[in-house]
């Protein structure tokens, strides 16, 4: 595959077109995103995110960037952890998702230590060494140039800062992998059709998960981007993995 091509699910597309295609997916699902997350994961996504929060080591007064933060599940919890002296920036490339997250968090009264930025993970619009911690949950697989995005994240982290990547990954047990494939390619599009009136977006979701790098490959990509002490935790048998790395 040359530099001008990338994948959108199982399709080969022009790299320049992918961001717009992904944007159409999330424009379509934004209003039903939280409901579908609960349905698709049977609520387990909340446990995965809680584990991410606990692994972050975020303390009062720190500055956190939540990339592809969507409807604000992680950002809202980080606000509580950084306190009034800290700051959380909720960033998403998709305006529909960003506005949905903003409205949800405003309804919860989270205003004092929370900012919002529409941003592309590949070209983060922040100064060098701005953040103590960066998270990206279920967003990296949608990024066109993942290596460029990881390098951008490394740039805006403070020395000693932490990156946490929570993402769908590769199940470690063959029997689990087969069951997961069946569920992903039959139940997910069906739920998408019934709940969000959009089967195709959830078919893309299943395909994008299969095209995402496996645990070891993503670990190596993080190391190539300059992260150290990089490791990962398999969650729910490797259906999801949390990768963690530090900036020197």
pLDDT one-digit tens code per residue, 156-174: 999 999 999 999 999 998 8
Q: Which of 243, 238, 97, 114 is nearest to 170 (CA)?
A: 238
Whether 90 maps to a domain, the answer reads yes
Domain count, the chain: 1
Q: Which of 120, 30, 132, 146 is nearest to 68 (CA)?
A: 120
116: containing domain: 5-173+202-247
Whether 179 maps to a domain, the answer reads no
Tokens at 117, concatenated: 């930025």
Q: Are 67 and 121 in contact (CB under 8 A)?
A: yes
Whether 185 maps to a domain, the answer reads no
Whether 31 maps to a domain, the answer reads yes
End-to-end CA distance of the chain: 33
Whether 88 maps to a domain, the answer reads yes
CATH number at residue 224: 3.40.50.150
Q: Which residue has the tokens 């020197």?
A: 248
Which H or E element spans position 240?
A: strand 240-247
Question: What global pTM score does this model have?
Answer: 0.86
β-strand 240-247 against 227-235: which pairing, if any? antiparallel
Please state, as a whole number, how many other Cβ atoms lie within 10 Å of the Cβ of residue 106: 13
Whether 163 maps to a domain, the answer reads yes
pLDDT at 3 over 60: no
pLDDT one-digit tens code per residue, 100-136: 999 999 999 888 899 999 999 999 999 999 999 999 9
Whole-number pLDDT of residue 1: 43
pLDDT at 2 over 70: no
Whether 192 maps to a domain, the answer reads no
Whether 193 maps to a domain, the answer reads no
Q: Are 226 and 154 in contact (CB under 8 A)?
A: yes
Whole-number pLDDT of residue 175: 86
């Amino acid at each position: 595959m040359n530099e001008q091509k990338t994948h959108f699910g199982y399709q080969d597309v022009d790299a320049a077109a992918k961001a717009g295609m992904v944007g159409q997916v999330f424009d379509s699902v934004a209003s039903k995103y939280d409901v579908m997350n609960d349905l698709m994961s049977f609520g387990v996504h909340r446990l995965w995110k809680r584990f991410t929060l606990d692994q972050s080591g975020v303390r009062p007064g720190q500055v956190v960037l939540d990339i592809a933060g969507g409807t604000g599940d992680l950002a809202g919890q980080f606000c509580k952890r950084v306190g009034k002296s800290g700051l959380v920036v909720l960033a998403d490339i998709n305006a529909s998702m960003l506005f949905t997250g903003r409205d949800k968090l405003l309804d919860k009264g989270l205003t004092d230590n929370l900012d919002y930025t529409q941003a592309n993970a590949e070209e983060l619009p922040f100064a060098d060494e701005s953040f103590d911690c960066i998270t990206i949950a279920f967003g990296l697989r949608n990024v066109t140039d993942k290596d460029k995005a990881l390098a951008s994240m490394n740039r805006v982290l403070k020395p000693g800062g932490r990156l946490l990547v929570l993402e769908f990954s590769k199940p470690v047990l063959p029997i689990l992998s087969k069951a997961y494939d069946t569920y992903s390619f039959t139940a997910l599009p069906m739920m998408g059709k019934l709940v969000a009136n959009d089967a195709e977006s959830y078919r893309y979701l299943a395909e994008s998960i299969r095209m995402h790098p496996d645990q070891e490959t993503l670990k190596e990509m993080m190391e190539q981007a300059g992260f150290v002490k990089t490791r990962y935790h398999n969650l729910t048998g490797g259906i999801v993995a949390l990768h963690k790395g530090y900036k020197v």
